[in-house]
A and B are shown apart, each in its own frame.
Chain A
């Protein structure tokens, strides 16, 4: 009787742990979560895995910057900046954010998948 009791208790605890682990795993932020910042403020969070139809986020605080959101993809479609480097950058991909310096707009991953590194060095300037 005693043994049976302990087995049942052990199974109950195991079940509880499994449920808790499942809960933690499923409440992690999405790995396709991008943040759109202007003037250092997070103005929009976009879960790219949940996007079904393309839409635009128009930011006009400094100059005008049109951020296009598509399924699995986010990029600066057009900008009033003179060099258009942000538009040429294309979609958010590797370790570096998409940035429009004149308009102070940055798009970056909020929860990157584990790429196995902490930062990426790049020849930006």
Chain B
């Protein structure tokens, strides 16, 4: 009997060891996949409030999408672009964020590129290369300094002006999702809104989230991996959304000052910071600025964000705050 008990004990110990070796993340996870804001979205959350948090966050993102879709005739943004008017709380909040980013980036990020984006065909897919007089006319309609916000009422300085939150809407949405998760008691989560990544806390096992940065020229070999906790990691680049005409490539990130696709010598900019909306806007702005201006800008705001820049020649630069948190198979320089 004693021998049998000992054998049983040994067997149980072996099974326990075996099962503990197979366990993965140590908390129950839930995830959801859906379409919104013209892209595929994935959210993953861990903890007791995960399921409820995901459901509320998905509804919230769908609501924001309905407000700001320039392709939806019933959206608030379409109504506003027709003749200005009163804004709901979320639209007012994102507009204020957009104006702040416009201000600190000296206009490198500008939501009033709407008429340009429309005429270039980036909404309809019926692309047209804008040049000469037509371009000059459209540039008259660009500039957030021509917007007047009185309370929650927006007026445009010129007829034909319009705004598009496409450059920051997903960042705003990921901020809201993370906020909703936190309100629901979720301690660990990751959202990917069409390639915009934002994380809450650490992974369930307590280690930082590891976010790969897409290589502009080879999607199978990331340019590097950044380890983050409670951060948004958001990339802008011209390599995904573009059209070709007469052998020339035209991407969708327009320089608000020239009205044409930004040719700054950068192929991608990734921003790492605590707020999705800021990361989203700054990734576009720094892409437009080019490397030298972008780094000068960072030096003045190093407490706000960090960045990974990739030039057209494939050179990688990271800002000092990422030193020790960024790994890559490629050579890279650390900017201080």
Q: Which positions in A face B, CB cutoff 8 Å?
A: 5, 9-10, 13, 16-17, 20-21, 24, 37, 40, 82-83, 85, 93-97, 99, 101, 104, 106, 115-125
Contacts and interface: CB of A to CB of B under 8 A. Distances in A.
Contacts, number: 117
Contacts of A121: 195-197, 211-214, 233-235, 270
Interface stretch (B33-41, B61-69, B106-114): B33-41
Top 6 closest pairs, chain A to chain B, by CB: A122-B195, A123-B237, A94-B219, A117-B212, A124-B195, A122-B214
Contacts of B10: 9-10, 13
B40 A117 contact: no
A55 to B, nearest CB: 24
Given A101-B38, A121-B270, A116 B225 contact: yes
B195 A101 contact: no
B40 A101 contact: yes
B233 to A, nearest CB: 5
A97 B124 CA distance: 23
Contacts of A93: 219-220
Nearest to B213: A121
A65 B96 CA distance: 40
Contacts of B283: 123
Interface stretch (B78-86, B87-95, B238-246): B238-246
A24 B192 CA distance: 31
Given A17-B17, A118-B210, A123-B236, 6 more contacts: A94-B219, A95-B214, A117-B212, A121-B197, A121-B213, A125-B241
Interface of B: 3, 7, 10-11, 14-15, 17-18, 22, 33-35, 37-40, 124-125, 166, 170, 190, 192, 194-197, 203, 209-214, 216, 219-220, 222, 225, 233-241, 252, 268, 270, 283
A99 B239 contact: no
10 contacts: A94-B220, A95-B222, A101-B39, A118-B203, A118-B210, A118-B211, A120-B211, A123-B216, A124-B241, A125-B39
A123 B225 contact: no
Nearest to B17: A17
A98 B122 CA distance: 20
A125 B11 contact: no
A101 B37 CA distance: 10
Q: Which of B11, B195, B236, B268: most chain A Cβ within 10 A?
A: B195
